[in-house]
Amino acid sequence: MIAAASLALSAVALPAAAASWWNANPYISIGKASVNVKDKGARGNGTHDDTAAIQAAIDSLPDTGGTVYVPAGRYMINAKKALRLHSHQRLKLDPDAELMVIPNDAGRYHVVKVWNVNNVEIVGGRMTGDRSRHQGSGGEWGYGINIQGAKNIFVHNVKLSEFWGDGMWIGATGWGSSLRRSNYVTVNNIVSQHNRRQGLSIGPAQHVYIVNSTFKDTRGTLPEAGVDIEPQDQGPANTVRLENNTMSGNRGNGIELHYNISDITIKSNNLTDNHGFGVLAVSAPHLNVAKNKATRNGLAGVGMSGKTHDAKIHGNTLQYNSTRYISPTRSGGGQTRDIQIGTSTYSISQYNNTLTPK
C-alpha cells in the first residue's frame, strides 16, 4: 500500500511538459447548426465575387457555432476584406471547392482570418492566391489562412498555393502586455506549395503541432522557407512540434528557426532538394532535432549558427548535402558536408547521426 501511494504521488508530481500534449486529430467543439454558402447567394462560378455571400453564411450561424459548407466550385474572394470565422465554427470545403483570390495590388491580404476566437476547424478543398496575377509589387504578406490570438484550432486536408506571401501564418495579436498568442493549433495533412514568401510561418504561439504535411517549392521573396518559426521581438514561441512532414524544393531552407523560441521538436521529417539548409537555426535555442532525413540540400542538412544553444541533433540521416559545392552523387565530406556548427553556438550535442561516408 505504501509503495502504491508513493507511485501515485510521483505521478501527480510530474510536470505538465512530461505529458504528450500533441494530437493529430484533436477534439474541436463545433456547434450543431449548418449552412450552405449557396443558400446565401454564393455562386462558385469562377467569376462572381462570392466574399459577401460566404461571410453572410458565416455570420448567419448562432453564437453556439456550426458548419459552413462550401460545395464544389471556384469561389472568388476579395482577400482585402477576408473571410472572418467565429468561435465554434467549421469551414468545410468540398474536395473540389476552391477559394481563389481576386487579383489585387495589396501588400497584405487574407483569404481566411481566424483571429481572437476559439474552437475553429478548417477542412478540405483548396485556397489559391494571385501571385502570377498580382497587380502590385510591394509587400510580402498575402496569406491563405491567418491564425492569430486563437485557441483550439484544427486545419487539415487543405491545399494552399500561389499566395503573394505565406500559405499559412500562426501567431499572435497585439504586443507587450496586450500580446495574445495562439495556443493549441494543429495542422494535419495540408499541402502548401509555390507560395512566394513561406509555406508556413509561426510567430508568437504555443502548443503548435504540424504533422503529415508538405511544404514545397516556396520561392519569390526572402526567406523562401518551407516552414519558418520567427517570433522574434513580438513575443515568444514555445512547445512547437514538427513531425512527419516533407519540406522540398524550397528556394530557401526547409525549416528555419529564429530567436525567442524554446521547446521546439523537429522529428521524422523529410528535407530534400532545398536550395539552402535542410534545417537552419539562427540564434535559436532549445531545439530537439531527431530522426529526420535530410538529403541533397544545397547547404548542410543541419546548420546551427549565431548564438544557437542547448540543441540536440541525434538519430538523423544526413547525407549528400551541400550540393551547391559537392556533387550529390559523390561520396565525401562527412560532418562538414552534412552538419555545420557555428563558432558562437554552445551546448550543442550530436550523436547517432548517419552522415555521408568520407
Is the N-terminal amide bond of 223 cis, ω within 30° of 0? yes
Flag whether pLDDT at 11 surpasses 90.
no
Sign of CA dihedral 333, 334, 339, 342: negative
Give one DSSP letter per residue of 276-297, joined into a string.
S-SEEEES--SEEEES-EEES-
Look up cell 555521408; give the residue: 356
What is the pTM for the complete model shown?
0.94
Taking the C-alpha atoms of residue 349 and residue 248, their distance in angstroms, rounded to an integer, is 26
Cα–Cα distance, 272 to 266 (Å, whole number): 15
Strand partners, 67: 34, 90
Residue 319 has pLDDT above 80, yes or no: yes
Q: How far apart are CA 44 and CA 36, in angstroms?
A: 12
Q: Which CATH class is domain 34-275?
A: mainly beta
Closest CA to 165 of 133, 136, 200: 200
Range with the poorest average pLDDT among 237-246, 321-330, 344-353: 321-330
pLDDT score, position 222 = 97
Distance CA 8, CA 175 (A): 42
Neighbours of 191 (CB within 10 A): 17
pLDDT the model gives residue 295: 97
According to the model, what pLDDT value does residue 15 have? 38
- Average pLDDT of the chain? 94
The residue with greater pLDDT, 31 or 3, is: 31
Domain-wise residue ranges, the chain: 34-275
Contact call for residues 271 and 294 (beta carbons, < 8 A): yes
pLDDT digits (tens, 9 = 90+) for 105-159: 999 999 999 999 999 999 999 999 999 999 999 999 999 999 999 999 999 999 9
What is the predicted pLDDT for the residue at 351? 97
Count other C-beta atoms under 10 Å from residue 244's C-beta: 16
3-class SS of residue 230: coil
